Copies of this chain bind each other. A is one copy, B any other.
Amino acid sequence: MPDDEHRIDERLIRKINAYLEKNRDPSTPVTNLLDPEELRSRLDLTLPEGGCSLDDLYRVIDEYLEHAVRTGHPQYFNQLWSGFTLPGFLGEVITGLTNTSMYTYEVAPVATLMEMELVQRMGRLAGFEDPEGLFLTGGSNGNLQAMMIARNRALPEVKHAGFTRDARLAAFVSEEAHYSFEKAANILGLGMERVIKVGTDEAGRMLPEDLEQKIEDSRAAGLRPFFVGATAGTTVKGAFDPCERIVPLARRHGLWFHVDGSLGGTALLSPRHRHLLDGLEQADSFVWNAHKLMGLPLICSVFLVREKGRLLASNSVDGADYIFHDDGHGASDLGPLSLQCGRRPDALKLWLSWKYYGDTGYAERVDRFFDLAAYAEEIVRDTEELELMAPRSSVTVCFRYRTPGIEDLNAFNLRLRRELARSGRSLVNYGFLGEDMAIRLVIANHELTREDVELFFRNVLSAAESLLNPS
């Protein structure tokens, strides 16, 4: 093998630094959005018979970088994650360099210890005294895992014998909860219809009275309630369901109480905002995506269980003795806890980031996110053409553009949002609140300033202007 396959040359560093430099140049478009057919025609999407040179390979990388959406750009607001962080990136680089899998301590000794420490640390932040947990492949996977433990607790025979009758299990989440709960009900054989939607208040928080009513109604209909999933930071409105008020209901009705903190789990790091999760300490399980507000590259998601042993009991399987050995360090193998076999060491990047920013760095970050979101809300309230579509709970602000002359507000705001993306000035997503389309601004980039937020709204207003008065 040629020597240059065993060393990284200067080009890579130059490309990385040039890319990062451009992220910070305000004239750089956040995206250069092309239709799939147009983009296809500009790329070489063939795979060669004979391979290519390293020079050619770097040209493919250049092409990728040219058309990549700049998720580290201060005008990227499209998802619940955003921004570039050095320790997170270094974590990915070292993870790629030392390529290994989390199933056994033997092949991932340091990452295993880091993951165990992080599970303890994050579990204790959630208020779990002696938590069980592991990193998995995202919030959807965490919600699935929670519902699976709950199912296997409610129906102990299912693990080995399967469903032997119509168990008529019913799960409860709010109407603002993530679609992954229904996906999980499909996967687990519970049926998507058995996920019952609980009403919310105007801010998007689950109504405990309605939860109680729905539980009783479902019992009356012959269903067996077994699971309630609260959300800490809903996808569109960023709302926090009132865990403290859900706990007693879950207890009284014998439900597994899971909290989906994919977005909002990070609020635990802020002494000012952690009260939003009060009651979490009495939940049974919790998922928290560090790749959202903690600024890690995707995927970095931790799943936590309050009562140790529940996760292992739900997931364990025989026939894995080729990999999990009783001799040696078997007791430190994380594999038996996991629904995956091979698994990336996602703990490393989080470890490096936490070391670098520390508790206080993260606390400040969370507070800054909330403050900036409050500032964005204020701008919306103070701007005649903008309408706040829901009270703000955390880091997202839902709004739309409206002036008296616009007949179809949904159609107009869809065009407005597309125009922003097409111009490359700001990339922001949207959702529907009932029938109404709302632009969803998410504050998730740790480098964001008030000026960036102001620029975003200037871009919105000028895009609207250009749509209303095309020159």
Contact = CB atoms under 8 A, between A and B. Distances in A.
Nearest to A103: B79
B298 A344 contact: yes
23 contacts: A6-B84, A16-B93, A35-B329, A39-B109, A39-B110, A47-B358, A52-B355, A54-B356, A64-B110, A69-B108, A78-B107, A81-B342, A138-B342, A152-B186, A161-B193, A162-B167, A162-B168, A165-B165, A179-B318, A179-B320, A183-B317, A188-B188, A299-B342
Query: Max chain B CB contacts within 10 Å: which of A5, A163, A191, A418?
Result: A163
A315 interface: yes
Most buried by B among A20, A140, A191, A447: A191
A56 B355 contact: yes
Given A51-B357, A151-B189, A161-B193, 15 more contacts: A6-B21, A8-B17, A36-B109, A36-B332, A39-B110, A48-B355, A57-B87, A67-B109, A138-B341, A141-B339, A158-B189, A159-B192, A164-B166, A165-B166, A183-B315
Contact of A148 (B72, B137, B187, B355): B187
A183 B317 CA distance: 6
A390 interface: no
B235 A322 contact: yes
B97 A89 contact: yes
A445 to B, nearest CB: 11
Q: How many copies does the complex hold?
A: 2
A318 B192 CA distance: 10
Contacts of A299: 342-344
A276 B297 CA distance: 39
A33 interface: yes
A194 B162 contact: yes
Interface string A142-167: 00100010011000011111111111
Nearest to A10: B13
Given A48-B358, A57-B87, A117-B47, A159 B191 contact: yes
A152 to B, nearest CB: 8
Interface string A77-94: 011010011111111111
Contact of A339 (B68, B187, B352): B187
A223 to B, nearest CB: 11
Indicate the size class of the contact surface on chain A: 35 or more
A139 B342 contact: yes
Contacts of A12: 13, 90, 93
Interface string A298-319: 1100000000000000010111
In this complex, the member of A12, A31, A97 whose beta carbon has the largest number of chain B beta carbons within 10 angstroms is A97
Nearest to A56: B355
Contacts of A430: 322, 325
Contact of A47 (B87, B121, B163, B418): B121
Which of A56, A61, A91 has the largest number of chain B CB atoms within 10 A? Answer: A61
A456 interface: no
Nearest to A184: B339
Given A79-B101, A329-B36, A110 B358 contact: no
A408 interface: no
A348 to B, nearest CB: 7
Given A191-B158, A318-B182, A36 B113 contact: yes
B192 A189 contact: no
Interface in A100-116: 100-101, 105-114
A37 to B, nearest CB: 10
